[in-house]
A and B are shown apart, each in its own frame.
Chain A
């Protein structure tokens, strides 16, 4: 992470741009500082008990920040000129994806405390998916996309970006809020007591559905990146 930040710093310096003028730069600096604070105590303290909670807290914070940072970075790299609405839409999607990854990993090695954590992660995934992706994405799609990006794509020589990718994305997306909400509700039901710790079939079900939702988010993210790229670059008029 430190190397990644330093590399980013060199690239930005060569372009003669101040690194801390962007959210991406600030996030990079925060990630580097947090990662240093996470690693250092491991070498300072001889017992594992003392830094355990702070280590965990920093680790989870890093996970979220790196996901957000990677999303912004990827979008800036692929799309170049990014609309704030699109960034927010994809960041919320990334947070939902991170929560689903969390559920998958935690369910593989489930503990008593882990049940509470996956319940929280389930609701985070559902809420960010519904509010962030569905409502925000839907508003963007119905207002800005329909009057601007869609026309640009259809006039370019790559209309498939709308006619195949966007048409598929806007429709299969409708399944995602139902799936993520189902995961959150299943965790609410199953996480009522500790029987989930030994119920391997229930664990497998949670992992399967989380994997399905995560794969869909990744697929839709790739579709979204290609659509935005086509809308911005245009590939020339038809």
Chain B
């Protein structure tokens, strides 16, 4: 398959959405025991379920966005060739979830002890 450079934005958009979904799951499952139980019931361990979600969601979104960005109109709409902007968004999304997780687990630790 010929690689279309204009569709490179599909990689970053898929990464941002996948990380956001997994990041929200991480935050919410820590607060909701119902969600934690549901994640455990799916595979036997909440971490394994989240891993599988990440492993399935990213390639799936990648395929979807690769085809969406096939048209010139969608390329312009998503500014798919603007790598720097999408990279910055990905960078700050990851930093946000890292900082939030550290704060959340630290507060839980001191709340329990």
Interface, chain A (partner B; CB < 8 A): 134, 138, 141-142, 159-160, 163-164, 167-168, 170-172, 174-175, 177-179, 181-182, 185-186, 188-190, 192-193, 195, 201-202, 204-205, 208-209, 212, 216, 219
Contact = CB atoms under 8 A, between A and B. Distances in A.
Contacts, number: 105
B77 interface: no
B19 A178 contact: yes
Nearest to A207: B87
A163 B105 contact: yes
Contact of A163 (B11, B55, B101, B108): B108
A134 to B, nearest CB: 7
B62 to A, nearest CB: 8
B45 interface: yes
Q: What DSSP secondary structure best describes chain A's contact surface?
A: helix
Interface string B72-90: 0000000000111011101
B102 A168 contact: yes
Interface string B6-33: 0110011011001100110010000000
Q: Among the interface residues B18, B23, B86, B98, which one has the most CB atoms of the partner chain A within 10 A?
A: B98
A178 B54 CA distance: 8
Contacts of A202: 83-84
B3 interface: yes
A110 B86 CA distance: 22
B97 A185 contact: no
